A and B are shown apart, each in its own frame.
Chain A
Amino acid sequence: MSVQIAHISKTFQHHGVSQTVLDQIDLTVQKGEFVSILGPSGCGKSTLLSIVAGLTAPTSGKVLVNGKEVKGPGSDRGVVFQQAALFPWLTVEENVMFPLKKKMPKEEAKKKAYEYLAMVQLSQYAKHSPHELSGGMQQRVSIARALAMDPEVLLMDEPFGALDEQTRSRLHEVLEKIWIDTKKTILFVTHSIQESLKLSDRIIVMGTRPGRIIDEIEVSFPRPRDEFRKQLAEYEERIQKLLKSEIDKVVKEEESYAAGR
């Protein structure tokens, strides 16, 4: 097993009021599995990913990656953020070399960087500055950078959320191919039901207030899944219903709060 999330809870103190963002999350991701965490905004899905990444400390519970407890960020877990987070003072190639240059000679790092840039079909942009690339291209570089350090797990936090529909759809194909080729374990946070259905083996549906797992859905159609649109639509409807009751709950809570004042 690759990632084990055990009884994770997270409470934030906000203006003296403590708010439970994540409540007793348990989740195990197998090696090579593609798991999506799906939920409405505010369900703590990004916080959960950040805890797995080691960038946020949980209030209680622990995360194990390959049996080893997560104590902080580390290169066994590559992270792709919603923004590409490329360093503007480095070229595309240097950005991909960034995680490698402490670990190997420069020539070797360069070779490796090109390998991964080729994987995201951007080798001819190696010498460009990040800001000269479109949003979708930047996100591909960011994926190449995360892959370059050969992590055990790839953590992706709404990586395509800021992109337009066409670009997103194309990047789904790129990511699918990378996943098949590299057999990486991927934990993918998204609020798009279609995206999760298109990409993942398993979808973890999260509810909000407090953030918790409300359902787990296995998606076992072979890829690419374009020809299973009809079957996927049924799944989509089912998840939609689940999420709707969650969102209704939030609205109701807010209304009663407003009425009570």
Chain B
Amino acid sequence: MQQVVKRIIFYAAALGIWEAIVKLLNIKAVVFPAPSDIFQALWNGFADLTLVYDLLASFQRLVIGLVIALILGTVLGVVFAKSKVIDDTIGSLILPLQSVPSIVWLPLAIIWFGLNEKAIIFIVVLGGTLVMTLNMRTGIKSVPPIYTNAARTMDYSGFSLFTHVIFPAAIPHAVTGARLAWAFGWRGLMGSELLSTGPGLGYTLKFASDFGDMALVMGIIFIIALIGILVDLVFFSRIEKKVMKKWGLLEQ
């Protein structure tokens, strides 16, 4: 509780000082908007529903991209973990690819798909798939042999061994992978929306920037950060904690 109080006081003070400095030094909103300007810009954006449509459009792309990424990443991770030949060949590509930010593929994606939804979703998929693949592969590979041995003595083998033991045992890694996939996907989405057509949060940010509306630019940056935190805290953190607890991986 004390922590919350401390934080509220800190943020209130920070916003107050910020507002005061901007107003006292008479800094133009184009250069550095005050909190009140940002609030006003956001208010207008939500009142005329542009930001609402942006949010819906962005989330739609994200959800489609993330679902594809998670399915693809899970399948690839399992294939790499199970086949040494594929892992040694194609699998060696994953790490170098992962160190390339997915957004740099946008020029190619635009050539392949056109400047449209597909190109953006492609970037989200790319951002999420690789990290999901890496985590899934690690998860499957680090299933304790004692689990599989125990199951084999109980007449589980092949596919039933995989679905009943190996996959469930890898779920903690899969959840971490999904959480990271969301983070990478979200970054890729915002980046590619900046360079695409609307609606979408990134697109409106670029639009506002073209018109010198820095209050709205900062407002959207806040929204992007806020969504990033909220989805992580409300959704992924919770699931991760639940899984870790259930799997007995949390310190009691």
**Considering only CB atoms, which chain B residue lies closest to A90 in the complex?**
B168
Chain A 58-80: CB-based contact to B (< 8 A → 1; otherwise 0):
00000000000000111101110
- A74 & B248 in contact (Cβ 8 Å cutoff): no
B152 x A89 contact (CB < 8 A): no
* Distance between B148 CB and nearest chain A CB, rounded to angstroms: 10
Taking chain A's interface residues, is the majority helix, strand, or loop, or is none over half, making it mixed?
Answer: loop
Within 8 A of A (CB), among B195-252: 246-249, 252
Kindly provide the distance from the CB of B173 to the nearest chain A CB, expressed in whole angstroms: 13
Interchain CB contact under 8 A, B154 and A55 = no
B151 contact set on A, CB distance < 8 A: 98
The A-contacting residues of B in range 163-193, CB under 8 angstroms, are 164-165, 168-169, 171
Interface of B is mostly: helix
B153 at interface by CB-CB < 8 Å: yes
Selected contact of A98 from candidates B146, B154, B248, CB within 8 Å: B154
Is the pair A85, B246 in contact by a Cβ cutoff of 8 Å? no
Which of chain B's residues 117-157 have a Cβ closer than 8 Å to chain A? 146-147, 149-156
* B168 adjacent to A87 (CB under 8 Å): yes
Docked complex Cα distance between A145 and B169 (Å): 18
Inter-chain contacts of A98 with B (CB < 8 A): 151, 154, 164
Option from A73, A83, A131, A149 in Cβ contact (under 8 Å) with B152:
A73
Query: Given the complex of chains A and B, what is the CA–CA distance between A149 and B152 in angstroms?
Result: 13
**Chain B residues with CB below 8 A from A72, complex form:** 152
- Interchain CB contact under 8 A, B149 and A85: yes
How many Å from the CB of B45 to the closest CB on chain A?
Answer: 45
Q: When the two chains form their complex, are residues A53 and B153 in contact, meaning their CB atoms are under 8 A apart?
A: yes
- Chain A nearest CB from B245 CB (Å) reads 8
Alpha-carbon distance between A54 and B147 when the two chains are bound, in angstroms: 15
Residue of B whose beta carbon sits closest to that of A82:
B146
Q: Is A102 an interface residue (CB 8 A)?
A: yes
Q: Nearest CB to that of A86 among chain B residues?
A: B150
| Contacting residues of chain A (25-52) with chain B, CB-CB under 8 angstroms | none
Q: Chain B's nearest CB lies how many Å from the CB of A22? A: 19
Q: Determine if A129 and B248 form an interchain contact, defined as CB atoms under 8 angstroms apart.
A: yes
* Contact A74-B153, Cβ < 8 Å, known A83-B146, A88-B246, A89-B246: yes
A130 at the interface (CB under 8 A from B): yes
Most A C-beta atoms less than 10 A away, residue of B146, B150, B168 = B150
Complex Cα distance, B169 from A85, in Å, reads 12
Give every chain A residue within 8 A of B147 (Cβ-Cβ).
85, 87
CA distance A72 to B151 in the complex (A): 12
Contact A55 B152 (CB under 8 A): yes
Least CB distance from A59 to B in Å reads 20
A130 touches B169 (CB 8 A): no
Asked if A81 lies at the interface with its beta carbon under 8 angstroms from chain B, I say yes
| A99: Cβ under 8 A from any B Cβ | yes
Partner pick for B160 among A81, A102, A131, CB 8 A cutoff: A102
Q: Check A149/B154 contact, CB under 8 A, given A85-B147, A87-B147.
A: yes
Contacts of A85 in B (CB 8 A): 146-147, 149-150
Docked-complex contact A89 and B154, CB < 8 angstroms: no
- Show 10 A/B contacts (Cβ-Cβ < 8 Å), sorted by A: A73-B152, A73-B155, A74-B155, A79-B149, A85-B146, A87-B168, A88-B247, A98-B164, A102-B156, A131-B252
